[in-house]
A and B are shown apart, each in its own frame.
Chain A
């Protein structure tokens, strides 16, 4: 099995949100949270054909 290393560039605020989410027990660490997000997002959006339609929840500036 091949491994793929993907590097995210995140600022301190984005990392704070990730760390707080980890601290809630959603995932054991940052990398695991990113992989969980990928799995769950892909599952929800597996039938999307292009940019998903914006929702009101995402419409926060």
Chain B
């Protein structure tokens, strides 16, 4: 395997997202640092934001859990492959659930402000002049989901570990926007929010050769095919040089809460602790129990 040329690498802090110009033939690696962190992902055609990744089209072609060897497709009427998943060490993705939102945290948990994927996406893509209405349903990386026997979707804790990663190869020039999922009081990221590492590489010939051939069909329309060819906004995404990020509740600040347990209580903790996820970390196991309990006691199932 030929070595890749690393173009950039940085850490995406908890509660934040970043709009990245990812050109055809470049690879965005999204990598776990501590593990167990969901990352929401949006992308747009860099030269025409009206074309964007569509979870519905992607779900139809690749199922609920797309992984290595699958594409991210744009919405009708374009329906082109925008991104190819070159590698996926965790194979724990979701295209069923929508992004979480401020309304979810207010209506269910009573938060006036809380990190949430919609607002993080909005804030990140604001750097390119996009509005909150332009956020689309996300490709949920590192998210453990399924559907029960009654057809209801569920989310469970995940087992991704440090160093797990997914490599996304741009098939077209895209604005790629990963964000650290803001859910810290539910199972999505095992009840915490953690930073992730992003790296951008130049694809090698081997990488490009791994992409299956793509058909080009007349039904994959472009604005040239539209009866109305113009839109009221500019199509090209221009970076705002005055952009200053202002993400909700960032920086995420960690505080320690020490609780003294009796022998009996400690035995209850050890019996209920999810050791397969948290090992000997009693604090993480107890945090999981606290917020699992909260959800069961205060959120009524619909």
A45 to B268, CA, bound (A): 10
Residues of B near A4 (CB, < 8 A) are 260-263, 265-266, 282
Interface assignment of B255: CB less than 8 Å from any CB of chain A = yes
Nearest to B269 among chain A residues (CB) is A38
Residues of B within 8 A of A (CB): 14, 38, 97-100, 104, 108-111, 114-115, 117, 140, 143, 145-146, 148, 152-157, 181, 183-188, 191-193, 249, 252-263, 265-266, 268-269, 271-272, 274, 276, 282-284, 286-287, 289-302
A31 to B269, CA, bound (A): 14
A16 to B258, CA, bound (A): 16
Residues of B near A48 (CB, < 8 A) are 272
B157 touches A51 (CB 8 A): yes
A14 to B282, CA, bound (A): 17
Residues of B near A15 (CB, < 8 A) are 255, 257
Contact of B256 (CB < 8 Å), options: A9, A35, A40, A41: A9
Instruction: Check A61/B261 contact, CB under 8 A, given A38-B268, A42-B268, A56-B302.
Output: no
A54 to B180, CA, bound (A): 23
A60 touches B155 (CB 8 A): yes
Residues of A near B145 (CB, < 8 A) are 59
A37 to B185, CA, bound (A): 14
Interface of B is mostly: mixed
A51 to B287, CA, bound (A): 15
Residues of A near B298 (CB, < 8 A) are 21
A8 touches B259 (CB 8 A): yes
Residues of A near B140 (CB, < 8 A) are 61
Nearest to B117 among chain A residues (CB) is A61
A54 touches B155 (CB 8 A): yes
Q: How many A-B residue pairs have CB under 8 A?
A: 197
* Subset of 21 A-B contacts with CB under 8 Å: A5-B258, A5-B260, A6-B261, A6-B269, A14-B184, A15-B255, A31-B259, A31-B260, A38-B293, A40-B297, A41-B272, A41-B289, A42-B289, A51-B274, A56-B301, A56-B302, A58-B296, A59-B145, A59-B153, A61-B98, A61-B188
A40 to B261, CA, bound (A): 14
- A1-28: contact bitstring with B at CB < 8 Å (1 yes, 0 no)? 1111111111111111110110000000
A14 touches B291 (CB 8 A): yes
Residues of B near A61 (CB, < 8 A) are 38, 97-100, 104, 117, 140, 143, 155, 181, 183, 186, 188
**Separation in Å of the B288 CB from the closest CB of chain A?**
9
B258 touches A58 (CB 8 A): no
Those 9 A-B pairs whose CB atoms lie nearest each other, nearest first: A54-B154, A37-B293, A4-B266, A42-B268, A41-B293, A57-B301, A59-B154, A61-B100, A37-B290
For the A-B complex with A31-B260, A35-B261, A61-B188 known, give 13 more contacts whose Cβ atoms are closer than 8 Å: A6-B259, A6-B286, A8-B287, A9-B284, A10-B254, A10-B257, A11-B254, A31-B259, A45-B272, A46-B271, A51-B276, A56-B153, A61-B140
A20 to B140, CA, bound (A): 30
**Separation in Å of the B268 CB from the closest CB of chain A?**
4
Instruction: Check A39/B187 contact, CB under 8 A, given A9-B254, A9-B256, A57-B295.
Output: no
A9 to B287, CA, bound (A): 8
